[in-house]
């Protein structure tokens, strides 16, 4: 089964000025497409061709680094597009209660997400995740993912340089301020929290 690049869940101008249409044209149209293409090339004619993306990630981890990197990055980016929205929504009552218990408030969670993202060394991802009913901020390095982990990811923020360089140059904190400040999709996070199982790639 060949995987397709998912459609963006919004027009490419919706995230401006935090993420410009120009950045999306490269990040989504070039980087994400390349991960999908390389993954499809790697699974063609193999047992992986009939698996879901999540199954490919799990099977490739520790066994096939090239396939793992491209499958994990394909999944991470799709999840990242859904983690943002043109206008910020509010967490569900159930999720907000968990946020308040774990971080004090939504605003404090945002500050911690920005701090962890700014402090993350080199490339990677910062996640709001749930495990056994408890929330935490997790980090993965380079192309690693929570797709096959014990965590249920609720939101993610890409802190690879290509996510922000065209708009913010090397100022990662400015990118994080813009995205975390007003573009997080709390409706998506709430759906993931309510479902209680890891989001699956829509192919």
Q: What is the CATH number of the domain that holds 46?
A: 1.10.287.990
Give pLDDT tens digits along the chain (203 positions). Answer: 799 999 999 999 999 999 999 999 999 999 999 999 999 999 999 999 999 999 999 999 999 999 999 999 999 999 999 999 998 889 999 999 999 999 999 999 999 999 999 999 999 999 999 999 999 999 999 999 999 999 999 999 999 999 999 889 999 999 999 999 999 999 999 999 999 999 999 97
Q: With b meaning 16 or more CB within 10 Å and e meaning fewer, what string describes 166-195?
A: bbbeeebeebbbbbbebbbbbbbbbebbee
Neighbours of 197 (CB within 10 A): 7
Q: Are residues 98 and 168 in the same domain?
A: yes
Q: Are residues 97 and 46 in the same domain?
A: no
Dist CA 94 CA 97 (whole Å): 5
How many structural domains comprise the chain? 2
Q: Are residues 45 and 78 in the same domain?
A: yes
From 62, 82, 102, give the residue that closes a domain. Answer: 82
Q: What is the CATH number of the domain that holds 146?
A: 3.55.40.20
Q: Are residues 44 and 102 in the same domain?
A: no
**Count, residues in the chain:** 203
Is residue 196 classed exposed, middle or buried when 0-12, 13-18 and 19+ CB atoms within 10 A define those classes?
exposed
Calculate helix-pair angle for 172-182, 106-119, nearest 10 degrees: 160
Q: Are residues 73 and 106 in the same domain?
A: no
Q: Are residues 189 and 97 in the same domain?
A: yes
16 domain-assigned: no
Q: Are residues 69 and 106 in the same domain?
A: no
Q: Are residues 114 and 139 in the same domain?
A: yes
Q: What one-character DSSP code corresponds to residue 48?
A: G
135 and 98 Cβ atoms separated by less than 8 Å = yes
45 domain-assigned: yes
pTM of the model: 0.96
Instruction: Tell me whether strands 152-158 and 134-141 are parallel, antiparallel or unpaired.
Output: unpaired
Q: Are residues 116 and 78 in the same domain?
A: no
Q: Are residues 150 and 73 in the same domain?
A: no
Q: Are residues 108 and 174 in the same domain?
A: yes
Dist CA 143 CA 53 (whole Å): 14
Q: Which residue's structure tokens are 């491209």?
A: 70
Q: Which domain holds residue 50?
A: 21-82
12 domain-assigned: no
Chain centroid to Cα 61, Å, comes to 18
160 domain-assigned: yes
Q: Are residues 113 and 171 in the same domain?
A: yes
């Amino acid at each position: 089964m060949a995987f397709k690049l998912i459609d963006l869940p919004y027009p490419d101008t919706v995230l401006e000025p935090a993420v410009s249409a120009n950045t999306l044209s490269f990040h989504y149209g070039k980087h994400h497409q390349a991960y999908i293409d390389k993954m499809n090339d790697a699974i063609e004619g193999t047992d992986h061709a009939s698996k879901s993306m999540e199954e490919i990630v799990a099977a490739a981890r520790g066994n096939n680094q090239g396939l793992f990197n491209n499958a994990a990055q394909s999944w991470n980016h799709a999840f990242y597009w859904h983690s943002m929205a043109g206008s910020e929504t509010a967490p569900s009552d159930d999720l907000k209660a968990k946020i308040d218990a774990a971080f004090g408030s939504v605003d404090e969670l945002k500050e911690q997400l920005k701090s962890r993202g700014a402090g993350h060394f080199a490339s990677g991802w910062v996640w709001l995740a749930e495990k056994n009913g408890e929330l935490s901020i997790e980090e993965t390095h380079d192309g690693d993912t929570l797709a096959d982990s014990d965590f249920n990811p609720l939101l993610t923020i890409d802190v690879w340089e290509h996510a922000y360089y065209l708009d913010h140059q090397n100022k990662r904190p400015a990118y994080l301020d813009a995205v975390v400040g007003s573009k997080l999709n709390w409706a998506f996070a709430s759906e993931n929290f309510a479902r209680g199982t890891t989001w699956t790639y829509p192919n």
